[in-house]
A and B are shown apart, each in its own frame.
Chain A
């Protein structure tokens, strides 16, 4: 049985840790509000960009264009979005495990572009092929997303990669965060129709990416209008695709940043609760030992006094 001094020291340590976790919980709660506002603000530009891309891609001439026409896949690229810091429960490991499972199921040669140091370290330990990307700042900004988007476009055009998957965490509620894997290149007009949510065909359903709500149905007059392409569909798509990728990435980064704070908040909350339980147990243990020491001392005094009489 540990001594009273040891129990006291341990109780103090646990108390200090609980103060830290409580502070981290409060910080995460405040950052969660900021991340939520950022994710909401991202929604409208993302929706506007997706609409434009959809308008271009649903044209028949787009189907034979380089970013739309499917290719024989030799190499797959995964863009993995994780955080730079730990202490956020299973947030990072869940998304890394999802990528691992998907790559095994896909069975193709792959490389990873990690956005966030935790994901990079996870796959570095497993000797996966990595393409370095600068770690993102805590509040993702569009410039960071655009750098990665431009890099992907260059690699895709050069033939270094043949398909691109985005791996991130989607926010449903604070307690419900889900790792998501979505194919972003080559563009699939049917998939795009589902995420944009307009002109859905029979059997197709709006896929809620969590970036924006399902748009209102457009008036019949605006449907099936032919889009005119100044400077040719090829050039328009060449300029649009980096925007589509960057916007998708930006929204995914904003969603992941929100999930990181939610995961940290939840895990720090349970850590604080657990610390409280340990403190209670240790206090009980300490009090028992103190009581038994007092009882023993009284017994010794009484028996000593009795012996003297």
Chain B
């Protein structure tokens, strides 16, 4: 990009590796698009301060001409002063996702979903399946 102004993106997650970097992800990027509870929100440099609740979805990170993805499973984020901080309940990079294991767990959850009549349980299983679908989507985007 001709304009060199960037945003500092930082992802904090419970599984963050403190021995290397205190953040799960930290990089200066051109743009980040995240899934909020109210819809997708893109953050560009110079954005006025905004705080938002995150839903389960893919965090799309644009830098130079490349696009990378991360699975964000809920949390909260704040953007201001060209710094975007995401506090995520769980965040996974594509290389951390075990697609085979998730596929197996997903089929097991689908079986449980078909077998239960309890609405609360159905809702919980659907949410879990959605989380797994997001992770698979992120893993597949890396393979392309």
Contact between chains at B16 and A45 (CB < 8 Å)? yes
Whether a CB of chain B sits under 8 angstroms from the CB of A92 is no
Given contacts A41-B22, A52-B85, A239-B75, A229 and B16 within 8 Å (CB-CB): no
CB-CB under 8 A from A45, the residues of chain B are: 12, 16, 22-23
CB-CB under 8 A from A225, the residues of chain B are: 48-49, 80
Given contacts A52-B85, A228-B49, A243-B87, A235 and B78 within 8 Å (CB-CB): no
Whether a CB of chain B sits under 8 angstroms from the CB of A126 is no
Contact between chains at A227 and B51 (CB < 8 Å)? yes
CB-CB under 8 A from B80, the residues of chain A are: 55, 222, 225, 227
Contact with A along B34-66 (1 / 0, CB 8 A): 001110010000001111110000000000000
Whether a CB of chain B sits under 8 angstroms from the CB of A5 is no
Whether a CB of chain A sits under 8 angstroms from the CB of B4 is no
Contact between chains at B51 and A228 (CB < 8 Å)? yes
Contact between chains at A231 and B36 (CB < 8 Å)? yes
Contact between chains at B51 and A230 (CB < 8 Å)? yes
How far does the alpha carbon of A235 sit from the alpha carbon of B75 in the complex, in Å?
11
How far does the alpha carbon of A270 sit from the alpha carbon of B41 in the complex, in Å?
59
Contact between chains at A143 and B85 (CB < 8 Å)? no
Contact between chains at B22 and A42 (CB < 8 Å)? yes
CB-CB under 8 A from A227, the residues of chain B are: 49-51, 78, 80
Contact between chains at B38 and A230 (CB < 8 Å)? yes
Q: In the complex, what residue of chain B is closest to A143 when comparing beta carbons?
A: B14
Whether a CB of chain B sits under 8 angstroms from the CB of A236 is yes
CB-CB under 8 A from B23, the residues of chain A are: 44-45
Contact of B76 among A44, A51, A243 (CB under 8 A): A243
Q: In the complex, what residue of chain B is closest to A244 when comparing beta carbons?
A: B87
Given contacts A41-B22, A142-B16, A236-B53, A230 and B78 within 8 Å (CB-CB): no
How far does the alpha carbon of A228 sit from the alpha carbon of B43 in the complex, in Å?
13
Given contacts A52-B87, A225-B48, A143 and B15 within 8 Å (CB-CB): yes
CB-CB under 8 A from B10, the residues of chain A are: 48
Contact between chains at B49 and A231 (CB < 8 Å)? no
Contact with B along A42-54 (1 / 0, CB 8 A): 1111001101100
CB-CB under 8 A from B100, the residues of chain A are: none
Contact with B along A201-244 (1 / 0, CB 8 A): 00000000000000000100010011111110001101110010
How far does the alpha carbon of A239 sit from the alpha carbon of B75 in the complex, in Å?
7
Shortest distance from the beta carbon of B11 to any chain A beta carbon, whole Å: 10
Given contacts A222-B80, A231-B38, A44 and B22 within 8 Å (CB-CB): yes
CB-CB under 8 A from B15, the residues of chain A are: 142-143
How far does the alpha carbon of A51 sit from the alpha carbon of B84 in the complex, in Å?
12
- Interface size range of chain B in the complex: 20 to 34
Whether a CB of chain B sits under 8 angstroms from the CB of A93 is no
Contact between chains at A228 and B75 (CB < 8 Å)? no
Contact between chains at B50 and A230 (CB < 8 Å)? yes
Contact of A230 among B53, B81, B85 (CB under 8 A): B53
Contact between chains at B52 and A240 (CB < 8 Å)? no
Shortest distance from the beta carbon of A40 to any chain B beta carbon, whole Å: 9
CB-CB under 8 A from A243, the residues of chain B are: 76, 87
Contact between chains at B22 and A235 (CB < 8 Å)? no
Whether a CB of chain B sits under 8 angstroms from the CB of A56 is yes
Contact with B along A21-62 (1 / 0, CB 8 A): 000000000000000011001111100110110011000000
Contact of B81 among A222, A231, A235, A236 (CB under 8 A): A222
Shortest distance from the beta carbon of B122 to any chain A beta carbon, whole Å: 24
How far does the alpha carbon of A232 sit from the alpha carbon of B36 in the complex, in Å?
12
Contact between chains at A52 and B78 (CB < 8 Å)? yes
Whether a CB of chain B sits under 8 angstroms from the CB of A146 is yes
CB-CB under 8 A from A238, the residues of chain B are: 53
Q: Give the 5 A-B residue pairs with the shortest CB-CB distance, closest first.
A: A230-B52, A239-B76, A41-B18, A52-B78, A228-B50
11 cross-chain CB contacts under 8 A: A37-B19, A48-B85, A49-B87, A222-B81, A226-B48, A227-B49, A227-B51, A227-B78, A229-B50, A230-B53, A240-B76
5 further A-B pairs in the complex, CB-CB below 8 A; given A55-B78, A230-B41: A41-B22, A222-B81, A227-B50, A230-B52, A239-B75
